[in-house]
Amino acid sequence: MTNPLLSHWDTPFALAPFDKISDEDFAPAFAEALETHKAEIAAIADNAAAPTFANTIEAMEAAGSGLDKVLSVFFSVAGADSTPAREALQREFSPKLAAHGAEISANKALFGRIKAVWDARETLDLTEEQQRVLMLTHRGFVRGGAALEGADDTRMKEIKSRLAVLGTDFTQNLLADERDWYMTLAEDDLEGLPGFVVDAARAAGEEKDAGGPVVTLSRSLIVPFLQFSPRRDLREKAFAAWAARGANGGETDNREIAAEILLLRQERAALLGYGSFADYKLETEMAKTPDAVRDLLMAVWEPAKARAEADAAVLTEMMHADGVNGDLAPWDWRYYAEKRRKAEHDLDEAALKPYLQLDRMIEASFACATRLFGLSFEPLDVPLYHEDCRAWDVTRNGAHVAVFIGDYFARGGKRSGAWCSAMRGQAKFPEVQAPVVINVCNFAKGDPALLSYDDARTLFHEFGHALHQMLSNVTYESISGTSVARDFVELPSQLYEHWLEVPEVLAEYATHAETGAPMPEEMLNKVLGAANFDQGFATVEYVASALVDLAFHEGAAPSDPMAKQAEVLAELGMPAAITMRHATPHFAHVFAGDGYSSGYYSYMWSEVMDADAFEAFEEAGGAFDADTAKALETHILSAGGSVEADELYKRFRGRLPDVEALLKGRGLAA
């Protein structure tokens, strides 16, 4: 019987036949596809013909499609619907993939051909996009260690392989801590909690077979519990478990893993001739240097810290008025901030939430894309990897553009957070290929499912990433969609969040779950008026994480990352009642892989641009200005990584932005 992962997918839009794929198919499919890709690379490297763009660079673009097919399915289900069997496969695949990548980047014959094409580039009459692909390919090989020889070459392969194992271990340890911990709640422990939190706790208890309601470490449940539970003892217990993820001792402890990762990254950078890993990593980003990153973060840190300290004084007074003496603690902040928000803005999240139905917010995100970019969304009835997933056919003027898949609900086997990935990227070479894009979130289930305002922003954020993938219009997949500088990739996602705050969007799609009535204008005004509420807290917890990440990578790797984290926070004067958004043992952005290592700042770098970019719409006459939307698609959403990020932004806006737009957007401007 043919392995469904290796066969031709005769399905609608050539989607993976999830109903025919079992866990037993992954290992043999991976092994065969890996050998096929090795043979394809060998054929390119050993080609007797003189190196050309077509027989070297384009041949590499075309190679590996079978392996991509297998891995796109596997990593989609491993991240969003993990099982012990899939975790074991991940541990098996990761070092093999790292070794394979290291073999390719260390293939001297292959690099010789790439270098020959690179050296002859001025004579080749290449398009702008081809020049870009050639430059990125050559640069990637050099940065991957292709020019290393002897012992250095061998050591680089060992480092890459070990980092792949450590990244997988870090991720799985974190998932285990998040999956295994829960706090049972007696019926009287539910007092003071709004209905949506009680419903989520009961649903979580059913999933855990706990015999009653529970609080888990899913952000969609623990954050509202910390916001609303009047029981300080239970808040403290829940917060302690949340803060301790990855640092509980035993087999799932991530602290030694983080230390080893940092040492290996430093060694990797040194082998390539860089002073630090941050120097190496930031060279290809918009920021370019650690100093530029620090300048941005510190420009925001001081006003944010001042705001947070002023807010802490107010919240402490509220706590003392409740008869609780002593200092405001991290498990108190969200509870008193929620009470303050209700008092100052008369905005009650429990009253707001019925107006933010998941299905209606999905409709809103689609409707904005229809008005801005002419896209239409029709539900698809196709097999997917989990019963919670949904799919849509995305079209424009009747022509197929993409398949969009949404996987919205939290469950035990899903890693925390929210993300967007392409199971298939857009390309026109070696054949036209429409993207298949997934948004994965961790919202609480309900009937109907209701979102917090923060959840709704997350939904719009991830759909912004999806639009970047779906509207991509380049020739080569290696530069399509979100294949851009890390500090540019968050621009489309963060920019799209702005449309959630457009009054006419909320007026139409924020309708009550029971009555169907639109959100009252008074509540709508309160929502928009409170948009920057508690920005001191939000900015401090984020910037502290970004500065710790930078400190880990811009000098000698710390032998004790937890001590280094404490040192950085002490130097910053971190407010005592606020913790890092992601402390080191659960900082998956930085330690699950290289993606955001010394790059967690990139959300803020992109926010400087997104605040400025939305101003372009407002200056042109409104959020749905057709000419500005067309410029956004032409110069940013469709362009992928075909041009340097700062040049793309200048083509859209005519100039680069400055930090004032961000401070104004967050309500932190002087």
Q: What is the pLDDT of residues 572-591, one digit of tens each?
A: 999 999 999 999 999 999 99
Over the stretch 323-338, which tens digit does the pLDDT of each residue have? Answer: 999 999 999 999 999 9
Looking at the fold, whether 544 and 439 belong to one and the same domain comes out as: no
pLDDT at 670 over 80: no
Residue 78 φ/ψ, nearest 5 degrees: -65, -35
pLDDT at position 347: 85
| Angle between helix 645-653 and 486-497 (nearest 10) | 40
In the chain, the percentage of residues whose pLDDT exceeds 70 is 100
Residue 642 has pLDDT above 80, yes or no: yes
Report the percentage of the chain scoring pLDDT > 90: 93
Domain CATH number, residue 430? 3.40.390.10
Q: Which pLDDT belongs to residue 1? A: 75
- Does the residue 606 lie in any domain? no
As a whole number of Å, the CA-based R_g of the chain is: 25
Average pLDDT over residues 224-232: 97
- Binned at pLDDT 50, 70 and 90, residue 429 comes out as very high
Same structural domain for residues 44 and 70?
yes
Do both 425 and 552 map to the same domain?
A: no
Q: State the CB neighbour count (10 A cutoff) for residue 20.
A: 15
497 lies in some domain: no
Please name the amino acid found at residue 388.
D
Q: Dihedral of the CA atoms 638, 643, 649, 650 (nearest 10)?
A: -130
- Global pTM? 0.91
Write the Ramachandran bin of 534: left for phi over 0, alpha for psi from -120 to 50, otherwise beta.
left
Q: What stretches of 381-519 adopt beta strand conformation (E)?
A: 390-396, 399-409, 419-424, 436-443
pLDDT for 549 beyond 80: yes
User: What's the CA gap between 452 and 350, in Å, rounded?
Assistant: 9
Q: Are 329 and 433 in a shared domain?
A: no
* 486 shares its domain with 380: yes
pLDDT at 58 > cutoff 80:
yes
Instruction: Examine the domain organization and report whether 365 and 426 are in the same domain.
Output: yes
> Span 404-420, mean pLDDT?
93
CA dihedral 520, 539, 233, 189 (to 10 degrees): 30
- What pLDDT is recorded for position 349? 85
Residues 305 and 577: beta-carbon distance below 8 Å: no
Please determine, for residue 52, whether its predicted confidence score (pLDDT) is greater than 90. Answer: yes
For residue 569, give both structure tokens. Answer: 């926070």
Q: What residues are paired with 376 via a beta bridge?
A: 395
What's residue 531's pLDDT?
A: 84
Q: Is 464 exposed, middle or buried (0-12, 13-18, 19+ CB in 10 A)?
A: buried
Do 366 and 433 share a structural domain? Answer: yes
Closest CA to 482 of 474, 472, 473: 472
- Where does the pLDDT of residue 658 fall: very low under 50, low under 70, confident under 90, or very high at 90 and above? confident
What is the CATH classification number for the domain harbouring 554?
1.10.1370.10
Catalytic pick among 462, 477, 490, 554: 462
Reported confidence tier of residue 53, pLDDT bands at 50, 70, 90:
very high
Structural domain harbouring 397: 354-490
pLDDT digits over 556-572, tens only? Answer: 999 999 999 999 999 99
Please tell me whether residues 360 and 486 are part of one structural domain: yes
Q: Which residue has the higher pLDDT, 415 or 172?
A: 172
Q: Which of 138, 175, 145 is nearest to 160 (CA)?
A: 145
Lowest mean pLDDT among 237-241, 390-394, 604-608, 641-645: 604-608
Per-residue pLDDT for 281 more than 90? yes
Asked if 79 and 189 sit in the same domain, the reply is no
Report if residue 669 sits inside a domain. Answer: no
Task: With H, G, I as helix, E, B as strand and everything else as coil, classify residue 149.
Answer: coil
5 within domain boundaries: no
The pLDDT value given to residue 416: 85
Does the residue 7 lie in any domain? no
CA 246 from chain centre, in angstroms, equals 20
pLDDT tops 90 at residue 660: no
Q: List the 390-396 sheet strands across, edge first.
A: 375-380, 390-396, 399-409, 436-443, 419-424
Q: Tell me whether residue 285 is one of the annotated catalytic residues.
A: no
- Contacts for 541 with CB less than 8 Å, ≥ 6 apart: 578, 579, 580, 581
Mean residue pLDDT of the chain comes to 96
Asked if residue 206 is part of any domain, the answer here is yes
pLDDT above 80 for 68: yes
pLDDT of residue 348: 86
Same domain, 469 and 389: yes
Report if residue 503 sits inside a domain.
Answer: no
Q: What is the pLDDT of residues 475-506, one digit of tens each?
A: 999 999 999 999 999 999 999 999 999 999 99
